[in-house]
Structure 1
Amino acid sequence: MPDDQLMLAYAAGDTDAFDELYSRHEAGLYRFVRRLLGVRLAAQADEVFQDTWLRIVSARASFSPQGAAWRTWAFTIAHNLAMDRLRTSGREVDLPAQDDASDEPLDWIAASLDQTHPSSEDTAFWRAAGLQLLHCLDELPDAQRAAFLLHHEDGATVEDLAQRLGLQFETAKSRLRYALQKLRGCMRGYLDVLGHPA
């Protein structure tokens, strides 16, 4: 059953429909929230993630499939809550433990570079590259990081970005372009080493 229909079923009282929605989108929404908050606010990702689902639950009666698709609607809620947290937090420093690093950054950067099956001897190197990419993401201004993540995590087009963020098309396009330029610059030195292993 499509997400929109599951949400309508849940609004009509079918709790199994909600369980299915949660199961489908739990990992993607959490990853999106965590990356949007960045390293400094990673400790608050669980709270923002839970607030997102609470907002989804409380807004179930107002969801309309004629508006945005459910996934777009849910990611927009997550985006808005994360941006509110970034604005009110003052970007306090709260670094996660080193062993908090998962395979996600490795998978993400490897897929981006068409290296989806690194050999076992490359795994440590790719893990470090993934952590470097997360560091680069964290260094982006909040608005650029949000545009990048909505585009790459949620698949939002530039038109979607403009609509969801309440921006002019050219402004949304510029934010995404600047985010990509900064990420490429931040990663360039590291990725040059990939092409010329020691």
Structure 2
Amino acid sequence: MLAPPAANPALHDTLPDDQLMLAYVAGDTTAFDALYARHESALFRFVRRLLGLRLAAEVEEVFQETWMRIIAARESFSPQGASWRTWAFTIAHNLAMDRLRLSGREVAFYAHDEDGDGLEAARLFSRGLVGGGAAADAAHPSAEELAFWRAAGRRLLACLDELPDEQRSAFLLHHEEGFTVELMAKTLEINFETVRSRLRYGLKKLRACMDRYLSVLEFRS
């Protein structure tokens, strides 16, 4: 297992990802340490949500494989092709999708709230991605509001798990990682309209899956 290296914030905290990667390619291993520390959590969360509950036991392996692939392919990185973040998340996406294709389609469906993901996912509501108008991260939420949003977030994660793999990956890349439709089409080598369709149908299914919670939100407002 790849052990998390120690970052060097004094030298690298202010450098952009692309410059850190180029420094690492040139032989500065502490630049890689800074990249790992900066993106470890986001990449792990992305892999975990993309693989879903049915492949939860393989998340750590795919996450580590992603970083090993980043190391192995370091000479091929070019800022003119894509930003480091886009390049790295595309590697993680492709590895996770390969694992999903090999796994079959059996789905274990149940809600979970690993590492506080319920409240984190609930923020999608406050950004208007899945519906609803209340803010999940209000300054001083009551215990009742926290419980409500945690339950809604768990439901959203479970709904994500029900989406077809391609629609789930499109949703996560676009709404959580900030990939534009154009960027997804280019980096994943998928037709622009295909990406739009995956996003549209995925969001439609998520909204249908969340109907019960959305109706409660309307009742409470």
Higher relative contact order (CA 8 A, sep 6+): 1
User: What aligned pairs does 1:82-97 form with structure 2 within 5 A after superposition?
Assistant: 82-92=96-106
- 1:52 corresponds in structure 2 to 66
Distance 2:150 2:57 in 1: 21
User: What aligned pairs does 1:1-198 form with structure 2 within 5 A after superposition?
Assistant: 1-92=15-106, 101-113=114-126, 114-117=135-138, 118-197=141-220
Deviation larger for 112-121 or 59-68: 112-121
Q: CA RMSD in A?
A: 1.9
Distance 1:166 1:52 in 2: 19
1:23-56 per-position Cα deviation (integer Å, ceiling 9, x unaligned): 1101110111111111111121111100000000
The Cα shift of 1:104 comes to 2.4
In structure 1, what residue type is equivalent to 2:116? Answer: D
The Cα shift of 1:92 comes to 4.8
Distance 1:14 1:84 in 2: 31
1:115-153 per-position Cα deviation (integer Å, ceiling 9, x unaligned): 312322222221111110011000000010011111012
Distance 1:95 1:9 in 2: 44
The Cα shift of 1:8 comes to 0.7
Query: What is the aligned length?
Result: 196
* SS in structure 1 of the partner of residue 148 of structure 2: helix
Distance 1:96 1:184 in 2: 18
Deviation larger for 115-124 or 79-88: 115-124
Q: Tell me which stretches of 4 or more aligned residues in structure 1 moved more than 6 Å.
A: 94-97
Which structure 2 residue ranges, 5 or more long, are not aligned? Answer: 1-14, 127-134
In structure 2, what residue type is equivalent to 1:31? Answer: R
Distance 2:48 2:158 in 1: 13
Which structure 1 residue ranges, 5 or more long, are not aligned? Answer: none
Distance 1:87 1:147 in 2: 16
Return the TM-score normalized by structure 1. 0.92
**Hey, which of these two has a bigger chunk of helix by percent?**
1
In structure 2, what residue type is equivalent to 1:116? Answer: D
Return the TM-score normalized by structure 2. 0.83
Distance 1:97 1:190 in 2: 14
The Cα shift of 1:165 comes to 2.1
Q: Is the 8 A contact 2:121 2:156 kept in 1?
A: no
1:137-176 per-position Cα deviation (integer Å, ceiling 9, x unaligned): 0000001001111101220111111112211111111111
